[in-house]
Amino acid sequence: MIGAEPRTHWLPDMVRRDRSGFVLTGADLLGDGRPPATWPLTRLPMFLESSLPGVFAVGDVRHGSVKRVASAVGEGSIAISQVHDYLRGG
Ligand SMILES: Cc1cc2nc3c(=O)[nH]c(=O)nc-3n(C[C@H](O)[C@H](O)[C@H](O)COP(=O)(O)OP(=O)(O)OC[C@H]3O[C@@H](n4cnc5c(N)ncnc54)[C@H](O)[C@@H]3O)c2cc1C
């Protein structure tokens, strides 16, 4: 299907992706409740945060997203809030 292939090859390895190239975020990064070994912070990744702190993924490119316009827009608005949390040191 046109548009169904994520173009994420240019991202650094620090931004983890699934086997199809979709960006892993939040709980999808956890193994046994723990973040990846490369995760440098004491807190866990936020819902839309990738394995690189401060880098967020929303919409179709995100692993596990619903792949619909309304959900992509909604995730975008949530991401802004999470960016603010990140900038506040959260
Ligand atoms: C044929 C088809 C029919 C669909 N029908 C429906 C429907 O009826 N209802 C519905 O809700 N959803 C539908 N969808 C799904 C919907 O289009 C997507 O879920 C939605 O567009 C996702 O939005 P997005 O912003 O995550 O990604 P996109 O809309 O794909 O936007 C990503 C943008 O990033 C740009 N981009 C990519 N790489 C880079 C880069 N390196 N640098 C800068 N820009 C870049 C792309 O050019 C693109 O403009 C359909 C999808 C397809 C393919």
pLDDT one-digit tens code per residue, 75-87: 999 999 999 999 9
Residue range 19-39: average pLDDT?
A: 96
Ligand 1, atom 10: closest residue by C-alpha: 68
Spacing, Cα 3 to ligand 1 middle (Å): 6
Identity (one letter) of the amino acid at 9?
H
Q: What is the model's pLDDT at position 4? A: 83
Ligand 1, atom 38: closest residue by C-alpha: 7
Residue 11 banded pLDDT, cuts 50, 70, 90: very high
**Most distant CA atoms of the chain, gap in Å:** 40
DSSP code, position 52: S
CA–CA separation, 79 and 22 (whole Å): 17
CA–CA separation, 82 and 73 (whole Å): 14
How many degrees, rounded to 5, is the angle at CA 20 between CA 16 and CA 23? 30
Spacing, Cα 79 to ligand 1 middle (Å): 17
Q: Is the pLDDT of residue 72 over 80?
A: yes
Token code pair at residue 32: 């046994």
Q: What is the model's pLDDT at position 34? A: 96
Residue 90 banded pLDDT, cuts 50, 70, 90: confident
